[in-house]
A and B are shown apart, each in its own frame.
Chain A
Amino acid sequence: MTRTPSQQPEPAEPERTATPPAGAGEAAAGGLDWTQSAQALASVAGLDIAVRVKALEELLTRKGLVDPQALDAVVDLYENRIGPRNGARVVARAWTDPAYRARLLADADAAIAELGFTGAQGENMVVLENTAEVHNVIVCTLCSCYPWPVLGLPPNWYKSMPYRSRIVREPRAVLAEFGTVLPASTEVRVWDSNSELRYMVLPRRPAGTEGLDAEALAALVTRDSMIGVAEARQPERAA
Chain B
Amino acid sequence: MNTVHDCGGMDGFGPVVPPGYDGSEPVFKQEWESRMFAVFMATIIGGLFTDEAFRQSRERLDPALYLTRPYYEQWWFAVARLLLESGAITPGEFAAALAKAGEAGAAAVAEGAR
Contact = CB atoms under 8 A, between A and B. Distances in A.
Interface of A: 1-5, 8, 12, 15-16, 18, 20-26, 28-34, 36-60, 63, 65-67, 70-72, 74-75, 78-79, 83, 139, 141-144, 152-153, 155-157, 159-169, 174, 177-178, 192, 195, 222-224, 230
Contact of B17 (A28, A57, A161, A178): A178
B35 A54 contact: yes
A20 B113 contact: no
Contacts of A1: 51, 54-55, 58
Contacts of A5: 41, 44-45
Contacts of A160: 13, 16
Given A1-B55, A51-B101, 5 more contacts: A2-B51, A21-B86, A50-B32, A56-B80, A70-B38
A41 B97 CA distance: 14
Contact of B39 (A29, A47, A60, A168): A60
Contacts of A66: 39, 42-43, 46
A33 B85 CA distance: 6
Contacts of B67: 161
A50 B9 CA distance: 33
B81 A37 contact: yes
B55 to A, nearest CB: 4
Contacts of A46: 104-105, 108
A39 B113 contact: yes
B28, B39, B72, most chain A CB atoms within 10 A: B39
A67 B39 CA distance: 9
A170 B30 CA distance: 32
A57 B88 contact: no
A161 B8 CA distance: 9
A192 B6 CA distance: 12
B70 A74 contact: no
Contacts of A63: 88-89, 93
B99 to A, nearest CB: 9
A141 B37 CA distance: 21
B47 A34 contact: no
Interface string B71-98: 1110011011101111111010110011
Contacts of A71: 35, 38-39, 41-42
Contact of A15 (B11, B18, B45): B45
Contacts of B5: 142-143
Given A26-B86, A49-B70, A43 B109 contact: yes
Contacts of B43: 60, 65-66
